Amino acid sequence: MSTATESGKVWAVDADGHVLEPPHALPDYIDPKFRDRAPRIVERDGAEYWEGDHWTRFTVDTTGSTNFRATALPGSAGVAKWSESSYSGDGMPNYSHANPASFHAEPRLKVMDDEGFSSAFLYPTLGLAFVPELEYGSALNRAYNDWLADYCSTDPRRLYGVAAVHLGDPEGAAAELERCVVRHGFRAAFLRPCLYDPDKQWWDEFYEPFWAKCEELDVAIGFHPFPTDTMPGAGKHFRLFEPNPTEIFFRTPFIHPVDNMFTLGSLISGGVLERHPGLRIGILEASGGWLVPFLERLDHRFEHLGHTMSDRMTLKPSEYFRRQCWISFDPDEQTIELTARIVGADRIIVGSDFPHPDAFYPNFVGMLVDAMPNLSAEQRGQILGDSARAFYKVDAP
């Protein structure tokens, strides 16, 4: 599908959509060794609860409870606000009552048709959380990846899976990524923009096997933040996990861009992009308006101290970004036109965040078009889809 059809409908590529992990299926996909531990939902007294070693066990829980209610909030697309009852879980609908497009491809394709998304690249939801136990976490990722491949097989020209890997073992992550590329046709891997080992910076040799494999396979890396676990990042550093309205309000707007600033700056200044010029990096769900001043400050620093970085950087930071990086914008950001003019519309992608509660749904594409009236048709076409196709290197509709 093109950016606009004869009927006048505008289409876009969803570079950052989500699925909800299935409530019952993962035990069928996981290595039998871990079947009893696989996340699954059980019903008690009319409410749904997670059992097994599910992702919620590895997020911050200040109540001390092991009785994790499974609510539909993660998949409640279009929720206008979070009430106190929504936050506490009281009276919330069960997880399996989330938008069916969260779990099933056919209703997802219907939503995409209605919204004007010609294709979508799909990231996890609960699986954004870090599972520190390497062997189990890796097995859980494999099971999720296989389930996601089945989800996308309904229409592989429009639905694209993004592989979940455990970077606590870079060689194992590289092997899982290769399996997903060869077996399932995946074109990207998902990483958190937080250090997987607090003692190893992003430029550490520890991660080299994974960067090299991504370059060899010619796949993209989408850095997607998550605000509620204990990976080394802004949330942990500033103790933003306590369950009160201030932390809930402040957590995501702060953690998402700060973690991505740290990761982007580390990959550039640490020489990762210099050593691996074929890497393609996507900065996701962190807003985009901070990018221009951030790159300006890095470039200014390079002018004064670049001679001390000659073994890591031969280009200005903004030049590395222009060569290898993309950033996603929300449709209500007033800085999208400015960034398109300064950094380039070909570096801007967009993601719906559907079916999450803070998704811009419905009418994402309409809002996006309204946000860029002063850009050229070519620039709008890049932001609506061509940039995402270039980032993921797929001939998606």
Domain ranges, residue 158: 12-36+99-392
Q: Which of 227, 29, 274 is nearest to 146 (CA)?
A: 29
Kindly state whether residue 93 falls inside one of the protein's structural domains.
no
- Residue 86: its pLDDT value, please? 54
Determine whether 67 is exposed, middle or buried from the number of CB atoms within 10 Å of its CB (0-12, 13-18, 19+).
exposed
Spell 26-42 as b/e; 16+ CB within 10 A means b. bbebbeeebbebbbbbe
Kindly state whether residue 51 falls inside one of the protein's structural domains.
no
The per-residue pLDDT for range 66-108, each reduced to its tens digit, is: 567 888 888 888 664 455 555 555 567 899 999 999 999 999 9
Answering whether pTM is above 0.85, one says: yes
**Average pLDDT over the chain, rounded to an integer:** 92
Kindly state whether residue 53 falls inside one of the protein's structural domains.
no
Q: Which of 73, 116, 63 is nearest to 97 (CA)?
A: 73
Kindly state whether residue 367 falls inside one of the protein's structural domains.
yes
- Residue 183: its pLDDT value, please? 99
Q: Which of 73, 76, 105 is nearest to 354 (CA)?
A: 76
Q: What is the mean pLDDT of residues 252-258?
A: 96
- Residue 64: its pLDDT value, please? 44
What CATH number is associated with residue 293? 3.20.20.140
The per-residue pLDDT for range 123-133, each reduced to its tens digit, is: 999 999 999 99
- Residue 61: its pLDDT value, please? 54
The per-residue pLDDT for range 316-337, each reduced to its tens digit, is: 999 999 999 999 999 999 999 9
- Residue 8: its pLDDT value, please? 81
Rg (CA), the chain: 20
- CA separation for the pair 327, 194 (Å, rounded): 17
Kindly state whether residue 7 falls inside one of the protein's structural domains.
no
Kindly state whether residue 76 falls inside one of the protein's structural domains.
no
Place of tokens 């899982």: 176
Q: Which of 342, 338, 345, 329 is nearest to 299 (CA)?
A: 342
Count the domains in the chain: 1
- Residue 89: its pLDDT value, please? 54
Kindly state whether residue 377 falls inside one of the protein's structural domains.
yes
Determine whether 390 is exposed, middle or buried from the number of CB atoms within 10 Å of its CB (0-12, 13-18, 19+).
middle
Kindly state whether residue 2 falls inside one of the protein's structural domains.
no
Q: What is the mean pLDDT of residues 208-233?
A: 95
Per-residue pLDDT band at 228 (split at 50, 70, 90):
confident
